[in-house]
Structure 1
Amino acid sequence: MIALSDQAIEWLVRLQSGDASDAERQAFEHWRAQSNDHARAVREAELLFGAVDETEVARNWSGLDHDLAMASPTLAFKSVSRPATRRKRPMTGRMSFGPKRWGVMVGSLCAMLALIIIGSLQGQDLWARWNADYSTTIGVSRTITLPDGTVAHLNTSSAFSIDFSGDIRQVNLAAGEVIFDVAKDASHPFIVTARDGASMAVGTVYGVRIEDDCVGVTVQEGVVEVSNRSGSSVRLNAGEQAYYQDGAVPKLVEDADLAGYGSWQRGKLIFNNRPLGDVIDEVQRYKSERIVIARDALRNLRVTGVFETAELDELLNSLEQTTGAKLVRLPLLTVIY
């Protein structure tokens, strides 16, 4: 889920590009009127834009137009030939999107986002890791063995605590994602609580992941029962996945693609025809800087490929090397436009 602050920024960039239509302006007004939070996000973005319009970076970048290249809307990671007039390095990808003139106020966007990043980067996760029994930092994964013999594989920026003192083995996942290879003990069910729900197993392999206000449960082996506080539940078998939100019934994912699930344990991220927006959301989990896509058209690019988690900058670099998209990098921020 894209934060309201990011959405407000994207709206302002679009409206100031010079290409915004009357329909887009009306859509913006409708978006802003959805709630007080939406209106507040717009006011904060407008104030920040006004404060940085006269910066040197803004003066250097404001009003620049960029032609975006045409090609197939798929990133199919293989070598691509480019015009001889453009210097390039061999890449393993191909991306493109429809051509459109785009005047981007990059300097204003970068300066504005830099001001809000420190307050938005993983505040809850930092608190969760501070209070957790086990945790990982950004870009780091680890494997530990719990007192009962269960093996826990922690993904990036994850944190959980345990309570094995009673008749059940309870894990409280506070942040991130963990795959549990549960030690069999029929007399002591293994329960992972996260947000408004829980998942229970006796001996199995399954992962639990927090994504904003959603929790995903994916079963690799055995059977897991997923429930929430309302009493609703769903039983998952091996190869199945479900999500739940606060107060909502857990829902089975009918078309779950689990071929690459847990690939981060091998230091890889695998994407199969995924929108670039989703890919960047996943990459963000492994990067300390904030990554923002400034154009909706870029979010819809389809991505298929395998990336090393330790070399995710190559994915970002491929945007510039195989399309007309541009990247602006600051110490705490990367903008794709």
Structure 2
Amino acid sequence: MTTSTPNKEQVLEEAAYWFACLQSEDVSAQEKQAWQTWHNQSSLHQEVWQQVERVDRQYQNLPKQHSYHVLHQTGRSRRQFLLGMMGLAVAAPIVWQQRQDIQATWLSGETETTQVGEVRQISLKDGTQLWLNTDSLVTIDQQVHLQQFHLLRGELFVESASGAIPLQLATGFGQVSAIGANFSVRLNEDHTYLAVHQGSVTVTADSGSHTKVQAKQSVLFNRTNLSPLQGLSANDEAWRRGYLVADNMRLDEFIELLNRYHPNGWLKCSANASHYRLVGHYSLADTEKVLDAIAFSLPVNVRKITPWFTILEDNKNISHS
């Protein structure tokens, strides 16, 4: 039997789990022993754990109100949490969001934002409707003959009015141009995702590469490349109606998606439960109720290790009648 060598990101994820576990008031002796076993398995485990302890010491030295904000914000993305665990900056999420907020002040137009879990609908001057998804930031410059958007964080959906004026939307990777189209744009860490629901949209990467995306098509693009995809996902639009769709979706994929809307820290699906499948529509009004529904329909246990860290684990001993 052969085992693969874990990469540092995987070990960081494991360390994050053990750190949260050991902070729990009801941590058991067996869990402490399991952590010690993990810690002693390799020098990489020990190196990463030292980084975790260093970050924790930095966190303990923060003023109370700042430390709470760090914990809240580290729940916003797995990458940001791991950055903190690597010791790059305990306040990396705060610094990153502050940078985006500062960028918004440099741009013309009005700034619109949403909090984690919030979805907002905005009416523009020409009648076009704009929805901002959870944890999003966009600037909107409504000129007489052109609407200019700059998406700095998150996701939006545009439903153009009849006779709408041209629209240009910039992200960190390129520009989207449309007239009278309905489309959604999501800004990720290393690319932008565009889904066209009606009409057509032109995408131009920073490199100058461009393509026209027709209705019912989608594309990923970064600064240099454009990658067409097959069709659309139901969740490209469902969020603006207040729910997520799971169509035989793996549990780990669904939890990763739900985590974006969860205001109470970080959600994680353990590897031993990731293979379970979900079907249904799940309201975004209360993510805790979604977790309860999952625990009722699947043999999983929703375990809140700390107020800001919840993990879903396989629990085949649960009986569902």
Pick the aligned partner of 2:111 from 126, 133, 158.
133
Distance 2:23 2:284 in 1: 38
Give secondary structure in 1 for the equivalent of 2:285.
helix
Distance 1:220 1:54 in 2: 46
Q: Which residue in the other structure is 2:183 paired with?
A: 206
Pick the aligned partner of 1:310 from 281, 285, 296.
285
Provide Cα deviations, 1:81-120, integer angstroms capped at 9, x if missing partner: xxxxxxxxxxxxxxxxxxxxxx999xx9xx9899774563
Distance 1:318 1:196 in 2: 38
Seen in structure 2, the aligned counterparts of structure 1 residues 55 and 140 have a Cα distance that, compared at 3 Å, is closer
Q: Which residue in the other structure is 1:177 paired with?
A: 155
Matching of residue 58 in structure 1 with residue 27 in structure 2: yes
Q: CA deviation at 1:304?
A: 1.7
Q: Which residue in the other structure is 2:211 paired with?
A: 234
Distance 2:257 2:295 in 1: 19
Higher relative contact order (CA 8 A, sep 6+): 1
Provide Cα deviations, 1:18-48, integer angstroms capped at 9, x if missing partner: xxx8614xx21xx23xxxxx59x74x97699
Q: CA deviation at 1:208?
A: 0.8
Provide Cα deviations, 1:195-243, integer angstroms capped at 9, x if missing partner: 1111110111111111332211111111101121111122111111111
Q: CA deviation at 1:152?
A: 0.8
Matches within 5 A, 1:57-206: 57-60=26-29, 62=31, 117-118=71-72, 120=74, 121=76, 123=94, 124-125=96-97, 128=100, 131=104, 133-165=111-143, 168-183=146-161, 189-206=166-183
Distance 1:203 1:318 in 2: 39
Give secondary structure in 1 for the equivalent of 2:156.
strand
Q: CA deviation at 1:291?
A: 3.0
Q: CA deviation at 1:326?
A: 4.4
Q: Which residue in the other structure is 2:107 paired with?
A: none
Distance 2:287 2:261 in 1: 8
Matches within 5 A, 1:13-52: 23-24=3-4, 27-28=5-6, 31-32=7-8, 38=9, 42=12
Distance 1:54 1:183 in 2: 52
Seen in structure 2, the aligned counterparts of structure 1 residues 146 and 126 have a Cα distance that, compared at 3 Å, is farther
Matching of residue 328 in structure 1 with residue 304 in structure 2: yes
- Single out whichever of 272-281 and 224-233 deviates more from structure 2: 272-281
Give secondary structure in 1 for the equivalent of 2:221.
strand
Does the 8 Å CA contact 1:182/1:190 hold for their aligned counterparts? no
Seen in structure 2, the aligned counterparts of structure 1 residues 287 and 152 have a Cα distance that, compared at 3 Å, is same
Distance 1:328 1:104 in 2: 21
Seen in structure 2, the aligned counterparts of structure 1 residues 312 and 64 have a Cα distance that, compared at 3 Å, is farther
Pick the aligned partner of 2:250 from 257, 275, 280.
275
Distance 1:55 1:277 in 2: 23
Q: CA deviation at 1:52?
A: 8.0
Does the 8 Å CA contact 2:182/2:196 hold for their aligned counterparts? yes
Seen in structure 2, the aligned counterparts of structure 1 residues 136 and 320 have a Cα distance that, compared at 3 Å, is same
Q: Which residue in the other structure is 1:298 paired with?
A: 273
Equivalent position amino acid for 1:163 in 2: D
Matching of residue 263 in structure 1 with residue 232 in structure 2: no
Distance 1:151 1:310 in 2: 21
Seen in structure 2, the aligned counterparts of structure 1 residues 140 and 270 have a Cα distance that, compared at 3 Å, is same
Does the 8 Å CA contact 2:251/2:269 hold for their aligned counterparts? no
Provide Cα deviations, 1:33-83, integer angstroms capped at 9, x if missing partner: xxxxx59x74x9769958986975433561799xxxxxxxxxxxxxxxxxx
Distance 1:304 1:203 in 2: 34
Does the 8 Å CA contact 2:169/2:176 hold for their aligned counterparts? yes
Distance 2:295 2:267 in 1: 15
Equivalent position amino acid for 1:156 in 2: T
Distance 2:19 2:262 in 1: 29
List gaps (5 residues or longer) in structure 1. 1-20, 33-37, 66-102
Q: Which residue in the other structure is 2:259 paired with?
A: 284
Does the 8 Å CA contact 1:216/1:242 hold for their aligned counterparts? yes
Q: TM-score, normalised by structure 1?
A: 0.65
- The alignment yields a C-alpha RMSD, in angstroms, of 3.8
Q: CA deviation at 1:253?
A: 0.9
